[in-house]
Structure 1
Amino acid sequence: MARSSTPRRTVVKDFPPLSLFARDGETYVPTTATPGPWSPAVCHGGAVAALMAHLLEEASTPELESLRFSLDFLRPVPTAPLKARVRPVRQGRRTHLIEGELLASGAVVARGTLLRFRAADSGMEPRSHLSDAPPADEPGDFAFHDAIRNGNGHRQFMAGGIEVRVPGGDTFVGARAGWFRLLLPVLPGVAPSPMVRVAAAADHGSGLGSLAHPSEARRITYANADLAIHLARPASGPWVRVEATSRWSAGRSGLTNSVISDAMGPLGVGQQLVAIEHLDLPAFNSRTTAAATA
């Protein structure tokens, strides 16, 4: 339910920004590198995923490896001060499970969990039913995607927060495959972990795997309601490759499956449930902005 007074959108104005978020006491303030493509008032899911993964890892010990991450988007995450609640669920000898929430104006807007394993050398060679060969393409084989020039014009995560490379460069939606490189840390001076980089990239699967026809570009939305990542090993290097396929029902739902790789080869999978809605973009923008400030 909307509040009687609309809270002011608070985005760190420094440009170029030094990080995705700035710490202000107990809150995390989005910078101009966090908005999504639909509206400058709403954070991109990849930026939210990166923040949540960072906060959950921060509550654990560094020698463990983050191998499963899940995130539920309960409502649009505004580009406004966010508070976090993080709680260790289990801290065993071999695994840690941590859960957390992000809140805006007192309301929970996102909820996440992280499962971490203690690394140990078993002496066994890696095994797989599938090919472990490196991807057939490299980041340099794809063209830079200028999200500002090809999108709605405002500063956003896909331009200032993460580098996006897709075949041809101009068309991201439905490109199926892309390479991603996080350009900024989540917070100033904190190097992104492998899971933070993967989470920031994997959220793009629903866009890469979109089944919307070009003629529907301004009449259909496909926002993912969640993000689930399972990895066999941590990512290596700054670049993460996401290759997505989708299945959309005749109703208003869909499922995107992504293969997540680095330069060495496949390392895991991502899944997203997608909420599909037919509408015109200006109406969606006004409704999204209203929801973000509710």
Structure 2
Amino acid sequence: MRETTGHPSAYFERVADDRLVPTVHAGGAWSDDEQHFSPVGGLLVHEIDRHRAREGRPALPMGRVSFDILGRIGFEEFEVEVETVRPGRTIELVQATMLIGGRSVVTARAWFLATLDTEAVAVVDAGQLPGPESAEPWPLSSVWSGGYIASLDTRRVGQARPGRGTVWASSRVDLVAGERAGATASFVALVDTANGIAVRQDPAEWMFPNLDLTIHLFRQPEGEWTGLDTTVTFGGSGQGLTSTVLHDVRGPVGSAQQILTVRPQPATVPAR
């Protein structure tokens, strides 16, 4: 097992074409020995972009990416495998898989769609958020720990309440050391943060990790800020849902959904 490093300006370092190691900035919020999923999600989009560029695929915008978290994402070296599932000139599906020790821990499937001029019928019902420059600085480290959380610049829009919050998030940390990631990959790298900005219960007493993340985009995001207008719902049988309208500084760009497994922290379970 390769020892992870503490590169000051990236979440990951590449040690081979398809192998990477996390840095201290990728540390998880639920456990110190896990990677936070948010930068992993951005990295898998980055690896899909690299794969498509190497294959000479047409420059199509991404319309949807869905992630399934299959197991614990240990804080150690990992491999990424990418394949084109459904090639095409106007619609394409690409899959990326993250493996640790030969075991699949995350899969990502991204749909790419052709660009057409539909400005004449374009309608967006969601309103635009106040910009990050007018939002109140709010360190997410007041709620969560971990290297990834510490790497963020987060600014809260309006007043938060349990299960409801709106935040702008940005990071000066690159995805991969020495590599330039695309705007969409960098944007996606911050989306999983949504599950932590509108907590319904104290995470010291309750766990609510997400098992997936699905992002739909009707416009490609631009700029360095990811806007997260988030609602968290807990059901009565151990399931929850985090729903987010996604913004860049120009306005809404799409939505994200995360299914949650809700359960008490082990220390709070009453003894029998």
TM-score category by the smaller chain? 0.7 to 0.9
Identity of aligned residues (%): 22
Deviation by residue 1:239-287 (Cα, 9 ceiling, x = unmatched): 110011122111111111100011111110000000111014799xxxx
Query: Are 2:208 and 2:260, in contact at CA under 8 Å, matched by a contact in 1?
Result: yes
Q: CA distance change for structure 1 residues 168 and 243 in 2, over 3 Å: closer, same or farther?
A: closer
Counterpart of 1:157, as a letter, is Y
Q: CA distance change for structure 1 residues 196 and 129 in 2, over 3 Å: closer, same or farther?
A: closer
Q: CA distance change for structure 1 residues 249 and 144 in 2, over 3 Å: closer, same or farther?
A: closer
Matched, 1:128 2:123: yes
Deviation by residue 1:195-228 (Cα, 9 ceiling, x = unmatched): 212322221222223321xxx4411011000000
Structure 1 residue 46: deviation in Å? 0.4
Structure 1 residue 9: deviation in Å? 7.7
**Of 111-120 and 260-269, the range deviating more from structure 2:** 111-120
Q: Give the SS at the match of 1:204.
A: helix
**Alignment match, 1:143:** 137
Unaligned stretches of 5+ in structure 2? none
Paired with 1:139 and 1:51, the residues of 2 have a C-alpha distance of: 27
**Alignment match, 2:6:** 13
Q: CA distance change for structure 1 residues 19 and 99 in 2, over 3 Å: closer, same or farther?
A: same
**Alignment match, 2:178:** 189
Residue 269 of structure 1 is aligned with which of 252, 255, 272?
Answer: 255
Paired with 1:172 and 1:31, the residues of 2 have a C-alpha distance of: 33
| Count, aligned residues | 264
Task: Map residues 196-207 of structure 1 onto 2, 5 A cutoff.
Answer: 196-207=185-196
Query: Are 1:163 and 1:181, in contact at CA under 8 Å, matched by a contact in 2?
Result: yes
Residue 26 of structure 2 is aligned with which of 8, 31, 34?
Answer: 34
Paired with 2:155 and 2:223, the residues of 1 have a C-alpha distance of: 16
Q: Give the SS at the match of 1:51.
A: helix
Residue 94 of structure 1 is aligned with which of 76, 90, 94?
Answer: 90
Structure 1 length-normalised TM: 0.81
Query: Are 1:10 and 1:79, in contact at CA under 8 Å, matched by a contact in 2?
Result: no
Runs of 4+ in 1 over 4 A off after TM superposition: 171-175, 280-283
Residue 178 of structure 1 is aligned with which of 160, 167, 173?
Answer: 167
Paired with 2:242 and 2:2, the residues of 1 have a C-alpha distance of: 31
Structure 1 residue 166: deviation in Å? 2.5
Residue 14 of structure 2 is aligned with which of 23, 40, 43?
Answer: 23
Paired with 1:264 and 1:86, the residues of 2 have a C-alpha distance of: 32
Query: Are 2:29 and 2:36, in contact at CA under 8 Å, matched by a contact in 1?
Result: yes
Structure 2 length-normalised TM: 0.87
Matched, 1:165 2:161: no
Structure 1 residue 13: deviation in Å? 2.6
Unaligned stretches of 5+ in structure 1? 1-7, 284-294
**Alignment match, 1:75:** 71
Counterpart of 2:95, as a letter, is E
User: CA RMSD of the aligned region, Å?
Assistant: 2.6
Q: CA distance change for structure 1 residues 277 and 264 in 2, over 3 Å: closer, same or farther?
A: same
**Alignment match, 1:246:** 232
**Alignment match, 2:61:** 65
Q: CA distance change for structure 1 residues 192 and 279 in 2, over 3 Å: closer, same or farther?
A: same
Structure 1 residue 104: deviation in Å? 0.6
Residue 45 of structure 2 is aligned with which of 10, 33, 53?
Answer: 53
Counterpart of 2:129, as a letter, is P
Paired with 1:261 and 1:241, the residues of 2 have a C-alpha distance of: 4
Paired with 1:27 and 1:197, the residues of 2 have a C-alpha distance of: 19
Query: Are 2:19 and 2:78, in contact at CA under 8 Å, matched by a contact in 1?
Result: yes
Task: Map residues 110-121 of structure 1 onto 2, 5 A cutoff.
Answer: 110-120=106-116
